[in-house]
A and B are shown apart, each in its own frame.
Chain A
Amino acid sequence: MDHQATGEVLKNLLTVAWLLPLAGFVAEIYWLRWSNRLSKSSALCAVACIGIGFLCSASALVYWGCHTDWAVLKAEEHAEHHDAEAHDHHGEAAPAQAADATAAVDAAHEPGDAAGHPKQDEHKESHADARKAYSGTFYKLAQFGKLSLSLDWYIDSLTLMMFTMVTFIATCIHLFAIGYMKEELTEEYEDHQVHTSHGHFSRPGRFHRFFSYLSLFCFSMLGLVLAGNIFQVFIFWELVGISSYLLIGFYIERKSASNAANKAFIMNRVGDFGFLIGLMILWTWCGTFQFDNTEAGPGLFTMIRGTDGVMDVSEDGKQVFLQDAHGHRLENDGKPSTIGYLLLVAAGLGVFAGCIGKSAQFPLQTWLPDAMEGPTPVSALVHSATMVAAGVYLAARFYPVFVPEVLLVIAYIGCITLFVAATIALVATDIKRVLAYSTISQLGYMMLAIGVGGWGAGLFHLVTHAFFKSLMFLCSGSVIAGCHHVQEMPRMGGLRRKMPITAYTMLIGVIAISGLAIPVLNIGFSGFYSKDAIVASALAYSELNPVHILLFITPLVTAGITAFYMFRLWFLTFYGEPRDQHVYDHCDESPRVMTTPLIALSILAATCAWGWFLTSGAGEEGPLYRMIAFSETVPATEQVKSVGPAKIILPSHQGHHSDVHKVHGQAGLLALLAAFAGSTFAYVIYGARVINPNDIRRQFPQAYDFLVDKWRFDVLYDAMFVQPVHIVSAWCAGFDKKVLDVILHASASITLVVSKWDRLFDENMVDGLVNMVGSTTRSVGYSLKVVQTGRLRQYVMWIAVGVVVLFGLLFTSLPK
């Protein structure tokens, strides 16, 4: 079947998976119109939508696997069957496929083990020849001359993997939420955290609304992944933001929840401001937002990277030439089209600013812990596994546009974040907050990986983290539901006896995130492999760029811290003796609708990085990683030397002679050591209780307070941004009232004064003058009246006198 037809099928499958939750959202928001408040049917509708979505995504993945060029990457089949395995957990897979899987796997491993070189060559060919991505357009949003904006789709193995992962986790979490949110199935839900003037607050349950928001989120998230241009990513970026806003603020009556929702949305908007700047630059200089080439012209990736993955930079290093679909320079009016190198840096940093906001990276990390105000299934789905990982996803997707300087910033941001968040997690006592900080920290790892050129490693960690973190959040949800909304770990303890399934599935998650493994055999849970890959990339990077050695040391140290605080969480919650007998006595294991998703997720959290056989082909040899790596862009696989001012060398990691491979064993050993050290330390303090943690706390009171205050970011931001904004806004409003309106009123009163004067002038001067003329005439008339005597003799005399005077005048004034 040809390329286009395959793409169409994939598109149709994924579009169904994408749009079903939207239909679900619309139906569920009006659910009360055709059902009652006590019915679970809205949840079933949501589960059906996302479940069918999962089936579609999984079949798309299988279909893609069947239509991929096997000669290029044989390991693909492996991945496909692995996914079929995921099906099995739901009993929906076709078991027939399992039979030929073994044969395929054997074939798959040979070339990889035999020699690195030929394989690498094959890869190169595949980059050059086989188009790995399918893309197309849904419909046009607008067209202005040559500029065109549309809704597109772009499908490659990364898209498919994200779709399958998101829909699978979402299905699990929807199921879990049916149990977790059942308290909402009531006409009178009493919220003990809210107080009104009449005492306790109660309201009708909002079960259906919770599921409608979840569906809206799924729609937005899948749209983000399917997006075929960066503008469309931005659209869905905002939509996941609003879904997150609605879900964090689900308990609208709680002030803390609505504050957290506002904070999340506004801090994300700060990142989006940067994103928008990135978009503006690309839009102005490249004139397109498309990822892939279209009939109208080359896409962004080709423009910047050409067909061979190499940027065409001018000799002085200041301009980057844009390239067309054949690798030639684009021209505009006879002049080559270029974009300034620094502008490209700015565009990359701008887009990455959006990722910082969404993935809660330093310095915009503070919204995520507060977002834990939302119900726990939300924390599991939105704020750990999917939405917050969207930042990492975008950084990976947009990799071809990032120049090494941008990657360096990404690496350092990730590095700072992973450390800061891990240290705060050390002292947090709220079970969900510990997980929230650990999420931030792990996202930092992913960012770091992408920044140091470990493209595949970062995304690998994204997937494994999604599984084990959503698992752990659901476990914490199970604990919280079991303990009747107690979230403070100091009040727990010993819960493993009451809720064994939760406790041991959680333990799987803890081991996975800590990166523990059996030393010599190198067999561990998923997190071990992905963290290993990240640390190896970081080590290779710092060996090539010795100045940036911190980028290796920090994640290594933090790996130990991670193991410590995660085991601390587990020991505090499940191990030892109960510290609050009341909580312990009322605690029960959750119902099956909640534990089944836990088991399903724990299996994947443990195994998703494994190969078909435990002994061979796990981790970076495994199917999951290979499938991700299939979408890898060229500059991510080969060694790249930066032409920019930072003089970076990105390590290569393709094949057995690559920079990363050389240091892999060394890095893995160090990471494992750190993990063991951390977990042992946690056992000593919180498990065996040899050392009293309070003593340590008393030793370093200032450091402890600093960490409990979350490095005082909230205080700082409040003083730096929130207060000034309020002040400026008061100024603006005041300016209108006190300046503009005063000027206006002043001119009005001046007009009044002038008109008053005018009136005075009129009345006194003008009227006075007229009156004067009148009265003068009158008085003259009166005085002349005296002369009119009516006596004839007097008149004759006056005439005579007059004649004499006239003559006198005549004679005196006439010229001689």
Chain B
Amino acid sequence: MFSSEFLLTAIVFLPAVWSLGLLAFDSQNKESMRYWTVLGTALTFVLTLQLWGSFDPAQAGMQHKFSVPWIPTWNVNFTLGVDGISLPLVVLTGLVSLLAAIASWSIDKHVKGYLILFLILETGMMGVFLSLDFFLFYVFWEVMLLPMYFLIGVWGGPRREYAAIKFFLYTLAGGVLMLIAMLMFYFNSGMSFDLLELADIAAGNIPAGKDKVVPFSEALQLAAFIMLFIGFAIKLPSFPFHTWLPDAHVEAPTPISMILAGVLLKMGGYGIIRIAMPLCPYGAQYCAYFLVALGVFSIIYGAFAAMAQTDFKRLVAYSSVSHMGYVLLGLAVWKITDGKTSGADYWAMGINAAMFQMIAHGISSTGMFFMVGVLYDRVHHRDLNKFGGIAQLMPEYSGLAAVIFFAGLGLPGLCGFVGEIFSVLSCWNFSPLLAIIAASGVILTAGYILWTMQRVYLGPEYKGPHPEGIIPFLPRERLVAYTLVIFAIVFGVFPNILFKPMNKSISHLVQSMSHTYDTHHGAAATVQTTQVTQ
């Protein structure tokens, strides 16, 4: 229907252009501005669906790819494209932004400024997932940071400034590491920011006309991987870089928490798959055990920490730490036996599971924050020990919240189950010990989620403050809740809807990385060198 250039550019820039429209509104006319924003995000979501519709799952490579020179002096191009790895995340971003826009009715302060920043944020997120140029990626990464800073810092809770600065500094630190790594690749690749070209060089396929370039050395790969990984692990977030997350979530307004959990955390995982791993296969393999161990540790640690929280939102934030641990676990289960990749199917399963877990977490965690927000809007507190009996007062809301929390708990038939179980299943091939520890997370997760539900929803009566504020579900809230519940069920029952578009791209990634490692760094490479010396 649309040309590739138009479709991708529109997905990225429509929200930002749409935000200009807000300038025409009278600041007092909050209602119309909100509708305008919802319309903009809805259009963007429709465009992402259009992208999904025109996507060919049988192809492994980039689709709709196009490139326009941007800063020719530095060989920076405006390159966009989509493959099976970015597609689900783009659609998820469209969905979560739309739902967050619908949930933004609770914002009543400086509405115009809020909505403008909100739309710019969406542009930043889309840009990150669609750009294929490292420089462009970096720019979008930073573009996203600023609106987020203000959204937390201006519209947040009582400690908003602290939380916003913490968030900003953490992400910035990650960004700086990424910048260094980017420049390392730039100067070692004959001045290229093209992610696909860089991946080719890393794989040993030197593009024509770059005779002087050699494949990235092992030391370079390792150093770059560590820097990139720290940058992305902050975003993921993984232990020990996670402490910004609970603060940011607790202070952020509900819709921003939804975006933060639903989309922003995914950039960490996406960055690892899209940049860190293909550009540094050797580094990724070198660090694999550490990555898996860190993922497993985050799962357990996050679950334990969640259990001790008394603030509802903080609890959900720690559950994110725990759930994103499965992503790290799944990504890195790259097993080498005798210097050769073994059980590549299990690794492919792991990456698929990690991707699925990102989408599933995008649904369930967004939902959980939304459900907390619905309660907070009514009673203006989040103290878990002062709830109870909500199910008596708001049965429909509580039922839907239960479904969302069960999705987080990993109940089969809901989206959370597939990501968690598949990543754990893929792990035994890599390391039985880590697999067992990761599997024990199912007990802890059940523990803290059921205990939370008991404290909030069950019981005879609500004893906390503002009982008069508890009003039934509003139609707007119902719309958001049902949408999330339906997605949670559909992805849980028919996971192949997501696996199908992802599968080819991920197998391609796995094949090329293991091929690269086996021929250049593994046992085969060692044999070659010995032959040469002889």
Interface segment, one of A169-177, A513-521, A662-670, A729-737:
A729-737
Chain A nearest CB: distance from B271 CB in Å? 22
Interface membership of A234, Cβ < 8 A: yes
Chain B nearest CB: distance from A240 CB in Å? 10
Q: A196-B461, A725-B307 are in contact. Are A736 and B450 (CB under 8 A)?
A: no
Q: A203-B392, A276-B424, A276-B442 are in contact. Are A147 and B349 (CB under 8 A)?
A: yes
What CA separation (Å) do A281 and B242 show in the bound complex?
32
Q: A242-B411, A277-B439, A729-B308 are in contact. Are A744 and B243 (CB under 8 A)?
A: yes
Closest to A150 in B: B496
Chain B nearest CB: distance from A708 CB in Å? 27
Q: Which residues of B contact A191 (CB under 8 A)?
A: 460
Q: Which residues of A contact B208 (CB under 8 A)?
A: none
Interface membership of B389, Cβ < 8 A: yes
Decide if A196 touches B460 in the complex (CB within 8 Å).
yes
Closest to A257 in B: B458
Closest to A346 in B: B432
- Selected from B246, B412, B427, the residue in CB contact (under 8 A) with A238 is B412
What CA separation (Å) do A249 and B352 show in the bound complex?
36
Interface membership of B39, Cβ < 8 A: no
- Selected from B243, B424, B428, B461, the residue in CB contact (under 8 A) with A197 is B461
Instruction: Give per-residue flags for A211-222: 1 if the beta carbon is below 8 A from chain B beta carbons, else 0.
Output: 000000000000
Q: A239-B413, A253-B389, A262-B451 are in contact. Are A147 and B460 (CB under 8 A)?
A: no
Chain A nearest CB: distance from B344 CB in Å? 7
Q: Which residues of A contact B242 (CB under 8 A)?
A: 736
Q: Which residues of B contact A281 (CB under 8 A)?
A: 428
Interface membership of A279, Cβ < 8 A: yes
Interface segment, one of A6-14, A39-47, A264-272, A496-504:
A264-272
Q: A730-B308, A736-B246 are in contact. Are A144 and B443 (CB under 8 A)?
A: no
Q: Which residues of A contact B199 (CB under 8 A)?
A: none
Interface membership of A807, Cβ < 8 A: no
Interface membership of A707, Cβ < 8 A: no
What CA separation (Å) do A205 and B41 show in the bound complex?
42
Closest to A333 in B: B342
Size bin of chain B's contact surface: 35 or more
Q: A262-B451, A266-B450, A280-B427 are in contact. Are A145 and B459 (CB under 8 A)?
A: no
Q: Which residues of A contact B457 (CB under 8 A)?
A: 252
User: Taking chain B's interface residues, is the majority helix, strand, or loop, or is none over half, making it mixed?
Assistant: helix
- Selected from A147, A201, A239, the residue in CB contact (under 8 A) with B346 is A147
Chain B nearest CB: distance from A232 CB in Å? 9
For chain B, residues 344 to 358, give those with C-beta under 8 angstroms from any C-beta of chain A.
344-346, 348-349, 352
- Selected from A146, A239, A262, A725, the residue in CB contact (under 8 A) with B412 is A239
Interface membership of A296, Cβ < 8 A: no
What CA separation (Å) do A276 and B457 show in the bound complex?
30
Chain B nearest CB: distance from A251 CB in Å? 10
What CA separation (Å) do A270 and B440 show in the bound complex?
8
Q: A253-B460, A258-B459 are in contact. Are A732 and B308 (CB under 8 A)?
A: yes
Decide if B429 touches A732 in the complex (CB within 8 Å).
no
Closest to A276 in B: B439
Decide if B443 touches A270 in the complex (CB within 8 Å).
yes
**Chain A residues within 8 Å of B, Cβ to Cβ:** 29, 139-147, 191, 194-198, 201, 203, 234-236, 238-239, 242, 245, 249, 252-253, 255, 258-259, 261-262, 265-266, 269-270, 272-273, 276-277, 279-281, 283-284, 725-726, 728-736, 740-741, 744
What CA separation (Å) do A275 and B331 show in the bound complex?
24
User: Taking chain A's interface residues, is the majority helix, strand, or loop, or is none over half, making it mixed?
Assistant: helix
Decide if B447 touches A235 in the complex (CB within 8 Å).
no
What CA separation (Å) do A744 and B458 show in the bound complex?
38
Q: Which residues of B contact A265 (CB under 8 A)?
A: 446, 450
Q: A729-B308, A730-B308, A732-B304 are in contact. Are A143 and B503 (CB under 8 A)?
A: yes
What CA separation (Å) do A241 and B346 show in the bound complex?
29
Interface membership of B63, Cβ < 8 A: no
Closest to A748 in B: B169
Inter-chain pairs besides A146-B345, A242-B411, 5 sampled, C-beta below 8 Å: A139-B494, A144-B352, A266-B450, A280-B428, A731-B304
> Which of B406, B425, B457: most chain A Cβ within 10 A?
B425
Decide if B439 touches A729 in the complex (CB within 8 Å).
no
Q: A147-B346, A276-B424, A280-B425 are in contact. Are A140 and B496 (CB under 8 A)?
A: yes
A-B residue pairs in contact (CB < 8 Å), sample of 14? A139-B496, A140-B496, A141-B494, A144-B507, A198-B461, A238-B412, A253-B458, A265-B446, A273-B440, A284-B428, A725-B444, A728-B304, A732-B304, A732-B308
Q: Which residues of A contact B246 (CB under 8 A)?
A: 736
Q: Which residues of A contact B349 (CB under 8 A)?
A: 142, 144, 147
What CA separation (Å) do A234 and B412 show in the bound complex?
9
Interface membership of B252, Cβ < 8 A: no
- Selected from A258, A276, A280, the residue in CB contact (under 8 A) with B454 is A258
What CA separation (Å) do A140 and B495 show in the bound complex?
9
What CA separation (Å) do A177 and B49 show in the bound complex?
47
- Selected from A144, A239, A258, A725, the residue in CB contact (under 8 A) with B447 is A725
For chain B, residues 398 to 436, give those with C-beta under 8 angstroms from any C-beta of chain A.
399, 406, 411-413, 417-418, 421-422, 424-425, 427-429, 432, 435-436
Decide if B305 touches A269 in the complex (CB within 8 Å).
no
Decide if B454 touches A262 in the complex (CB within 8 Å).
yes
Interface membership of B155, Cβ < 8 A: no
> Which of B242, B348, B442: most chain A Cβ within 10 A?
B442
For chain B, residues 453 to 483, give those with C-beta under 8 angstroms from any C-beta of chain A.
454, 457-461, 463
Q: Which residues of B contact A242 (CB under 8 A)?
A: 406, 411
Decide if A252 touches B391 in the complex (CB within 8 Å).
yes
**Chain B residues within 8 Å of A, Cβ to Cβ:** 166, 240, 242-243, 246, 301, 304-309, 318, 343-346, 348-349, 352, 389, 391-392, 399, 406, 411-413, 417-418, 421-422, 424-425, 427-429, 432, 435-436, 439-440, 442-444, 446-448, 450-451, 454, 457-461, 463, 494-496, 499, 503, 507
Closest to A267 in B: B443
Q: A144-B349, A276-B424 are in contact. Are A252 and B308 (CB under 8 A)?
A: no
Chain A nearest CB: distance from B176 CB in Å? 15
Q: Which residues of B contact A741 (CB under 8 A)?
A: 243
Decide if A740 touches B304 in the complex (CB within 8 Å).
no
Q: A736-B243, A740-B243, A744-B243 are in contact. Are A729 and B458 (CB under 8 A)?
A: no
Closest to A191 in B: B460
Q: Which residues of A contact B460 (CB under 8 A)?
A: 191, 194-196, 201, 253
What CA separation (Å) do A283 and B432 show in the bound complex?
12
> Which of A144, A236, A270, A277: most chain B Cβ within 10 A?
A144
Q: Which residues of B contact A146 (CB under 8 A)?
A: 345
Q: Which residues of B contact A731 (CB under 8 A)?
A: 304
- Selected from B308, B458, B495, the residue in CB contact (under 8 A) with A733 is B308
Closest to B240 in A: A740
- Selected from B243, B343, B427, B458, the residue in CB contact (under 8 A) with A249 is B458
Q: A142-B496, A147-B349, A258-B459 are in contact. Are A273 and B308 (CB under 8 A)?
A: no
Decide if B308 touches A142 in the complex (CB within 8 Å).
no
Q: A194-B460, A253-B459, A280-B425 are in contact. Are A235 and B243 (CB under 8 A)?
A: no
Closest to B306 in A: A729
Closest to B460 in A: A253
Closest to A268 in B: B446
Closest to A148 in B: B345
Q: Which residues of B contact A195 (CB under 8 A)?
A: 460
What CA separation (Å) do A808 and B164 show in the bound complex?
74
- Selected from B305, B432, B443, the residue in CB contact (under 8 A) with A736 is B305
Q: A266-B447, A273-B442 are in contact. Are A258 and B458 (CB under 8 A)?
A: yes
What CA separation (Å) do A802 and B460 show in the bound complex?
107
What CA separation (Å) do A145 and B246 show in the bound complex?
38
- Selected from B412, B458, B499, the residue in CB contact (under 8 A) with A236 is B412
What CA separation (Å) do A276 and B439 show in the bound complex?
7
What CA separation (Å) do A29 and B424 show in the bound complex?
33
- Selected from A140, A147, A196, A276, the residue in CB contact (under 8 A) with B421 is A276
Q: Which residues of A contact B399 (CB under 8 A)?
A: 29
Closest to B300 in A: A732
